[in-house]
Amino acid sequence: MVLLISILVTFTTGLKAQQPVVLNVIDSLTIRPVHPPVFEGITTDTTHLLLSDWPVTLVKYSYGEPKINFIAIHDDEDTGVKAAFEYIRFSGGSIIDCQYGGIRNFKFMYNNEEFQTDPNSIYTPAGIARGLEKYNWAAPEVVNMLANTAKEILKLYNPETPPYIFTLHNNGDGGFGIHDYLKGYPLENFADSLYINFEMDADDLILVTDVNLFNRLKKENVNVVLQSNNAPDDGSLSYYAMQQRIPYVNVEVQHGHLYEHLRLIEIAAKALEETILPL
């Protein structure tokens, strides 16, 4: 059975009521998986969102015991998805894969205007506005649509059970790395502390919001960043998690570094189980 839900969002600006924004959700629809290699026994649970004229599909792949749960936000970052499949094939768990056309940004039309934003900037009101203003302006109707999209993603992931958020990201060669968090570099205000293994590729790293996780990961001699409690509000899942006091892990590697992504996932998952999950 397919359940179609229309979420009606109304808002006002001053005294003038605006047109309602409708976000359509189709829950529990069976579809053919998109990302190989899907293996026998894996199950899917799919939610379809409509962001104005832009379809966003959330596919939750699950296998075995419900252990570590991952989420991949950007649809152009498939190395993390493939690494997660390998992890859950042997250890069990799940991953939510956000699918919206194989590109980085949400890009859609509303009232004959094009809007776009990074889907990792929609988890706080300030982040939504800043993300939209990089490309156009923060139209109130569009702000509401993105806020509801974030709510649906969080509802499906459910970071209360288990009590953490574990994301997977990829980057380009030399385009982003742990050095960006050093003093004098673009992301210095986002970092409280760093541990750098200079024998690793600088593009491969782990970012966390919990100091116990950070200290545990340092013992593994891997690149790791502890996010600052005073980090700017960029609307990211890491900022949302910090704001909500939810432990957050991001394992990020260069595109194509599949085995390194899997290695860091295994290290981070073990650290998470030892420091957060027993509490």
pLDDT digits (tens, 9 = 90+) for 63-82: 998 789 999 999 999 999 99
Domain residue ranges of the chain, discontinuous segments joined by +:
3-275
- From the CB of residue 36, how many other CB atoms can be counted at a distance below 10 Å? 10
CA distance 115 to 132: 7
Place of tokens 């116990």: 212
pLDDT digits (tens, 9 = 90+) for 248-276: 999 999 999 999 999 999 999 999 999 99
Using 50, 70 and 90 to split pLDDT, how confident is the model at 279? low
**3-275 is a CATH 1.10.3470 domain:** no
- From the CB of residue 201, how many other CB atoms can be counted at a distance below 10 Å? 16
- Angle between the N-to-C axes of helices 125-133 and 140-157, in degrees from 0 to 180, rounded to the nearest 10: 120
**Inter-residue contact 145 to 54 (CB < 8 Å):** no
Closest by CA position to 119, among listed 128, 109, 110, 108 = 128
Q: What is the mean pLDDT of residues 214-240?
A: 98
| Average pLDDT across the chain, whole number | 88
pLDDT digits (tens, 9 = 90+) for 32-44: 334 556 788 999 9
pLDDT attached to residue 277: 82
Residues of the chain with pLDDT > 90: what percent? 81
Rounded CA Rg of the chain: 19
